[in-house]
Structure formats: C-alpha cells, structure tokens
C-alpha cells in the first residue's frame, strides 16, 4: 500500500478512536469521523466498505497487536511457568495503561459490539489467546512443571478466568488492582495445573 494511502487509513482509524472516546463509545458517524480526520467520503470508502468494516478493522488491528505482544513475552520466558505468568500479567497490565485502556474501552463499546461480524472477530481473538496458553501448557506438561495439565480444556478455563479478571479491571468493579488480580489468576492456574499442591 502506498505511504499516502497508509497515512490516510491511519488518520481515519485515529479519528474514529477519538470520536468514540468523545462519545463514551456510544456512537460515531462516518461524517463525524471524516470531519475529525479532515478527509472526504471518497477517502473513507477507499479503505472501508462501511462503518462496521472500520470498527472490525480497528478491533482486529488491536487484537492482533495484543496477541503478538503476549506471544513474544511468553516466548522470551525461560520456563513454561514464567511464560504463563508473563502472559497473564501482560494481559492485565493493559488495563492499567491509560492510552491502551481508552482504546480497549472503544473496542468493547456498544457501538463496536453492534458491528456486523464483531462476535466472530472477538471469538478469533479468544481462540488466539487459548492457542497461546495451550502451547505453554503443552511445554509444561512435557517438562513436568505442569503435571496435571490437559492443555486445550485447561487453556479455555484459564482464558475464561483471565477474561473475567480483565473485564472487572476495565469496568473497575474489581477489589484488587491489575497486578494483584494477575497474581490471583496465576495462582489459580498453577494450582489447577499441579504446579503447587492440590
């Protein structure tokens, strides 16, 4: 993609984020987004078929970035246990970083969730998380650090616990902060995997 078109697309995406943040994630019109971006309707339709297409592209881009960051952190860890800890802490740390938090709130907003195809994109993100966790659990089963691991079903359970803790942080309904919540999920996972006592 030519640099000019890439810049144009990035301006639309950033304008959409700003408009959704300003409206508390309730709504953002294509006209409002383009006014904020200083671009024409033609520019919008060069990159996106519809506003739903824009919202899904925004979700996919951020989800893929998070997935890549978490996989890299896990891959750099010296042991499966540390890899799982890094993944859990990395996910919950996102809720404590103001700019990332604002972007996430936009991407789980009412407006984003109404987009056609949102459920499938969200399921794709969950599946990517589960695949990463299952890979860590298989390594822990192989080296004996997670002796009770049943990688695929356990990955689903750990991801569900992590997802719940993540949403509690995003909604600010948790009693514990992100770091403490991450340790709670990590301890739960380690106990379930046989890394600690029964």
pLDDT tens per residue, range 124-142: 999 999 999 999 999 999 9
Of 17-26, 30-39, 53-62, 130-139, least confident by mean pLDDT is 17-26
Q: How many CA atoms lie within 13 A of 29 on its CB side?
A: 4
Q: What is the DSSP string of 94-120?
A: GGGSHHHHHHHHHHTSHHHHTSTTHHH
Percent of the chain with pLDDT over 90: 70
Q: How far apart are the first and last CA of the chain?
A: 54
Helices 80-93 and 118-143 pack at an angle, to 10 degrees, of 150
Question: Whose CA is closest to 85, among 186, 188, 189?
Answer: 186
Span of 30-34, 104-108, 113-117 with lowest mean pLDDT: 104-108
User: Which pLDDT score is estimated for 1?
Assistant: 45
pLDDT at residue 25, as a whole number: 52
Query: Predicted confidence band at 26 (pLDDT cuts at 50, 70, 90)?
Result: low
pTM of the model: 0.88
What pLDDT, on the 0 to 100 scale, is given for residue 168?
93
Q: Which fold has domain 50-193?
A: Tetracycline Repressor; domain 2 (1.10.357)
* Fold adopted by 1-48: Arc Repressor Mutant, subunit A (1.10.10)
Determine contact, residues 124/63, Cβ cutoff 8 Å.
Answer: yes
Stretch among 40-49, 71-80, 97-106, 130-139 having the lowest mean pLDDT: 97-106
Query: In the chain, what are the domain boundaries?
Result: 1-48, 50-193
CB atoms within 10 A of CB 171: 11
């Amino acid at each position: 993609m030519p640099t000019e078109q890439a810049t144009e697309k990035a301006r639309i995406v950033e304008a959409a984020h700003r408009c959704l943040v300003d409206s508390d994630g309730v709504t953002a019109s294509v006209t409002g987004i383009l006014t904020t971006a200083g671009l024409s309707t033609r520019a919008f339709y060069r990159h996106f078929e519809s506003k739903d297409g824009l919202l899904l592209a925004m979700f996919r881009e951020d989800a893929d970035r998070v997935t890549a960051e978490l996989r890299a952190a896990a891959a750099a860890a010296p042991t499966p246990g540390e890899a799982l800890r890094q993944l859990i802490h990395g996910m919950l740390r996102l809720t404590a970083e103001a700019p990332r938090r604002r972007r996430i709130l936009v991407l789980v907003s009412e407006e984003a969730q109404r987009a056609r195809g949102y459920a499938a994109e969200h399921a794709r993100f969950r599946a990517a998380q589960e695949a990463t966790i299952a890979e860590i659990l298989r390594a822990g089963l192989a080296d004996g650090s997670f002796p009770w691991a049943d990688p695929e079903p356990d990955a689903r359970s750990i991801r569900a616990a992590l997802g719940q803790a993540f949403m509690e942080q995003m909604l600010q309904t948790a009693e514990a902060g992100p770091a403490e919540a991450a340790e709670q999920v990590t301890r739960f996972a380690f106990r379930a995997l046989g890394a600690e006592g029964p």
